Chains A and B, each alone.
Chain A
């Protein structure tokens, strides 16, 4: 079945540092890939997405590129802020296994210090 693997957290950074959160997936065909963010006390919200190989999703300074050859969708940001502290989830759906039901990674907690 489909699966998503994210790096273990927490990731702790100083403000303005470079961020990478690794995500790899296992799925058949060409799923769509997503990054969601969850701020404390809230539900998940979509951060960015990519629907085909080599697409780059971007939003709020975050970027991720759909790499079919390495089955990866790593999240990056050039300069993090304290307000980026949250839990980040990598997810996929729409694999040729047919499932529209999203598959989520375990989440990676990001803590940014001033």
Chain B
């Protein structure tokens, strides 16, 4: 248990569905991240929210939409996904501007797009 909780753990969705991934942390962190992990590929940073800024990876398609209503919760809204979006989606949090501290990861959501 790392203190970062992701739900659901597994998700199967059709290409026309809309779903959301949820991430929650109560570690007092002020930065939260979404990563995509595909087989045989490096970790891909998708989005970052911190007190100071929101950072987006410009290569992430618009069918992925993040939302961060407060410093403890982070969502990833999914719509009209493609089969190549099937991957493990990891949420992480850290102390943001205190850059020498580690990131804490959730267990991930295994997404399958059919």
Contacts and interface: CB of A to CB of B under 8 A. Distances in A.
A89 B102 CA distance: 13
21 contacts: A32-B99, A32-B100, A34-B102, A41-B107, A43-B6, A43-B90, A43-B108, A44-B92, A44-B105, A46-B103, A51-B100, A89-B43, A93-B94, A94-B98, A100-B31, A100-B50, A100-B94, A100-B97, A102-B103, A105-B42, A106-B42
Interface residues of B, number: 29
Question: Which of A44, A93, A104, A107 counts the most chain B CB atoms within 10 A?
Answer: A44
A105 B41 CA distance: 11
B99 A100 contact: yes
Interface size class of A (residues with CB under 8 A): 20 to 34
Contact of A45 (B2, B94, B98): B2
A93 B93 CA distance: 13
B105 A102 contact: no
A77 interface: no
Does more than half of chain A's interface fall in helix, strand or loop, or is it mixed?
A: loop
Given A31-B100, A44-B92, A105-B42, 12 more contacts: A32-B99, A34-B102, A43-B90, A43-B105, A43-B106, A89-B43, A93-B101, A95-B99, A100-B50, A100-B95, A100-B97, A101-B55
B48 interface: yes
B9 to A, nearest CB: 9
A42 interface: yes
Contacts of A42: 107-108
Interface string B41-65: 0110100101000010000000000
A71 interface: no
Nearest to A49: B102
A107 B45 CA distance: 14
B48 A101 contact: yes
A98 B4 CA distance: 25
Contacts of B55: 101
Interface in B71-114: 90, 92, 94-108, 110
